[in-house]
A and B are shown apart, each in its own frame.
Chain A
Amino acid sequence: MNHKLTDGGHVMQVGTLARVEGEGAMHIELRDGRVTDVRLRIYEPPRFYEAFLRGRAWTEPPDITARICGICPVAYQTSACWAIEDACGVAVPEEVRLMRRLLYCGEWIESHALHVFLLHAPDFLGYDGAIEMAADHPDVVETGLRLKKAGNDLMRVVGGRSIHPVNVRVGGFYRMPLAVELQTLRPTLVRALEDAVETVRLVAGFDVPDFEQPYEYVALRAPEGYPIEVGSVVTSSGRSFEVRDFATHVEELHVAHSNALHARLDGGDRGPYVVGPLARYTLNHDRLSPLARQAAADAGLGDTCRNPFRSIVVRAVEIVEAVSEVLRIVDGWTDGAAPSVAVPPRAGEGFGASEAPRGVLFHRYVLDADGLIRDAQIVPPTSQNQAGVEADLRRLVEGWTGLDDHALQHRCEQAIRNYDPCISCATHFLDLTVDRR
């Protein structure tokens, strides 16, 4: 909806953003070609996870926090497990870390394929949605659905189901999948790798505007490999810190127009910071597998990517990376490792982070001696990216005042989808004001 203001200004509003996970709206005000107000308004109702986690047992956060997001439950389960294990002073064996990485790769494939093909590609090819797109580009939609299904199939084998997997526990897994079960996925995975490389080629050809942005990038970096299930924090300005120091570097601010908190790094001295595929790629490009690195080079990506409209290309490269990793882990898997280690509770504080498909997801828990949770803090990627999304919208509108309203509005929606915002994730942690009836 667009309308003129009596003082000559101009307002552009989208009441319900489509093809994002959760409920959000966009509000932009212009006066004399200058943007006077930009708000990504998140009206998804808060669900108060951090409040009701208090008093729950140390064993429960993997199942409970999974329900923050149906699209990236494994991210929540993984960050929660690291944090609780940290609080209890337990280190899990290498096989558990590898199995976490395998399950997490399934989530990356499923979530990225969903976003690239069903939510984002229709913007570039000029359709309202993937179903409409399927009429003219059946092969594109079929490739996307096949890839998404490969990710879901992997999650089903390792986790029991793809949405809210049941096999994850603090300390590891309830049952270790067998090599023979993993091998049944091999034909699907080989096809998925071909599909993923083809996807990079497809999206590399999409038209994107020139829109390089200078934001500070924040991502994890692991001792080896591309960061997925674990790592410590690095930034594009050269800062680095341990996950346990995350909350001292990142400050969360509650703004009036949104039910998600905004995040600020080190007092905001470098403006908004951004997490997610662009940040991961820029800070870990050297860690990609040879096939993913080649796919990125063929797609024209350099050592860094600073145009959010090219995030779809980076997501596609990350699908190649995830499928390659899955094949590596599946082919190297031997049976016999214990599914989990005991995690006896103790009083203390623990921290955990992992790379959700949309970026760094941080958890912190304080436990008492019986293992009951005294305090919980969860910082999801979408709330960290909110300020960056708003800054993009501001620059975009000021740079393209020549576009007609319809085109401009569409481009703004696309700019929001560049970040694959997961609004259900972002809105879960505000504390409560009660309206009783």
Chain B
Amino acid sequence: MSRPKLAVWKFASCDGCQLTLLNCEDELIPLAGEVEIAYFPEATRAVVEGPYDLSLVEGSITTPGDLERIEQVRRASRRLVTIGACATAGGIQALRDFADVDEFRSIVYAHPEYVETLGQSTPVAAHVPVDFELRGCPIDRGQLLEVLSAEIQGRAPRIPRHSVCFECKRRGTVCVTVAHGTPCLGPVTQAGCGALCPAYERGCYGCFGPQDTPNTASIAARLRRDGMAEDEVLRVFRTFNAGAEAFRRESVRHEAGAGVGRGRKGEP
């Protein structure tokens, strides 16, 4: 049987999630024996024609050209897995979705006519069917290897959807909120990073996006009680996964109190 063909595609992003693949230093060469790296411009000039058995897609959809290209990628791919907060939630660049149009107009730029862009930054799944979404800003190396193994073996990846709190418990990290009153998004954020921030005496800032049953209103109340102002609460939900539905909704809930914004553009 021939090896499955792997392709890696990039849209609007920082390159960090596809770099995660190259950061699998111990696994990279063995992996290249298991799959045929058929399209991965960051790593090789060689291009093997599609169709591809598995496409990894990094980045969000932000230009008119992207809209066409993601359709082509989908057509050329038997399985399509999106990797990272940009591809799964629109990324930090989705902050444009909340911007006041008048404010944007007031920003002076030299030659805007040279630049092509859409008004929103959207996840891949908003445009084409996606077979699996791997979250994180950036994705976790171990989780990427699990997804690749699962795809090669034709099984479902074992990626937990529960909160970061489970990982703190497993790691033996004392709760930073309980012990020190440090604001932490751990209870509403999906596990996967290994609960890094609390291990570095910092509250989780939500870079893996919402867990599967996030009680964001409860966490927001706690943040307010611990001394955060409304505009600060709004901002903690509005970072790398600002476009993820649970975080988006919670941030919008604090707009009136913060005296900013009008929700997502296009909404009444």
Asked whether A73 is an interface residue with its Cβ less than 8 Å from the other chain, the reply is yes
Contact between chains at B137 and A431 (CB < 8 Å): no
Contact between chains at A432 and B46 (CB < 8 Å): no
- Picked from B23, B32, B113, B115, the residue with its CB within 8 Å of the CB of A131 is B32
Contact between chains at B201 and A164 (CB < 8 Å): no
- Picked from A18, A71, A141, A166, the residue with its CB within 8 Å of the CB of B15 is A71
Among residues of B, the one whose C-beta sits closest to the C-beta of A372 is B231
Contact between chains at B42 and A20 (CB < 8 Å): yes
Which chain B residues in 92-133 approach chain A with CB under 8 Å? 92-93, 95-96, 99, 101, 103-104, 107-119, 121
Asked whether A134 is an interface residue with its Cβ less than 8 Å from the other chain, the reply is yes
Given contacts A164-B137, A432-B104, A435-B118, contact A128 B235 (CB under 8 A): no
Interface size on A, residues (CB 8 A): 72
Among residues of B, the one whose C-beta sits closest to the C-beta of A158 is B200
- Picked from A20, A71, A130, A175, the residue with its CB within 8 Å of the CB of B200 is A175
Contact between chains at B111 and A51 (CB < 8 Å): no
Contact flags A46-62 to B (C-beta < 8 A → 1, else 0) = 11110110111100100
Chain B residues near A (Cβ < 8 Å): 10-17, 19-20, 22-23, 25-26, 28-29, 32, 37, 40-46, 62-64, 66, 91-93, 95-96, 99, 101, 103-104, 107-119, 121, 137-138, 193, 196-197, 199-202, 205, 207, 232, 235, 239-240, 260
Secondary structure type dominating chain A contacts: loop
Asked whether A106 is an interface residue with its Cβ less than 8 Å from the other chain, the reply is no
Contact between chains at A114 and B22 (CB < 8 Å): yes
- Picked from A19, A47, A71, A122, the residue with its CB within 8 Å of the CB of B16 is A71
Among residues of B, the one whose C-beta sits closest to the C-beta of A142 is B29
Contact between chains at A51 and B107 (CB < 8 Å): yes
Contact between chains at B15 and A47 (CB < 8 Å): no
Contact between chains at A52 and B63 (CB < 8 Å): no
Contact flags A156-180 to B (C-beta < 8 A → 1, else 0) = 0000111110110100011100000
B78 CB to closest chain A CB, in angstroms?
22
- Chain A residues whose CB sits within 8 angstroms of the CB of B115 once the complex forms: 46, 259, 430, 432-433
CA distance A164 to B19 in the complex (A): 12
Contact between chains at A70 and B41 (CB < 8 Å): no
A166 CB to closest chain B CB, in angstroms?
5
Contact between chains at B41 and A17 (CB < 8 Å): yes
Instruction: In the complex, identify which listed stretch (A80-88, A146-154, A215-223, A300-308) lies at the interface while the others stay far away.
Output: A146-154
Given contacts A19-B41, A70-B138, A148-B25, contact A432 B107 (CB under 8 A): yes
Contact between chains at B66 and A45 (CB < 8 Å): yes
CA distance A138 to B42 in the complex (A): 20
CA distance A337 to B127 in the complex (A): 51
Contact between chains at A129 and B138 (CB < 8 Å): no
Contact between chains at A434 and B43 (CB < 8 Å): no
Contact between chains at A68 and B12 (CB < 8 Å): no
Given contacts A57-B235, A130-B43, A432-B96, contact A424 B205 (CB under 8 A): no
Contact flags A115-150 to B (C-beta < 8 A → 1, else 0) = 000100010000011111010001001000110110
- Chain A residues whose CB sits within 8 angstroms of the CB of B63 once the complex forms: 45
CA distance A71 to B111 in the complex (A): 29
Contact between chains at A118 and B107 (CB < 8 Å): no
CA distance A52 to B96 in the complex (A): 7
B92 CB to closest chain A CB, in angstroms?
5
CA distance A138 to B45 in the complex (A): 19
Q: Which 5 A-B pairs have the closest CB atoms?
A: A70-B16, A129-B44, A431-B109, A433-B112, A128-B46
Given contacts A51-B99, A160-B197, A164-B207, contact A19 B43 (CB under 8 A): yes
Among residues of A, the one whose C-beta sits closest to the C-beta of B37 is A131
Among residues of A, the one whose C-beta sits closest to the C-beta of B202 is A174
B109 CB to closest chain A CB, in angstroms?
3
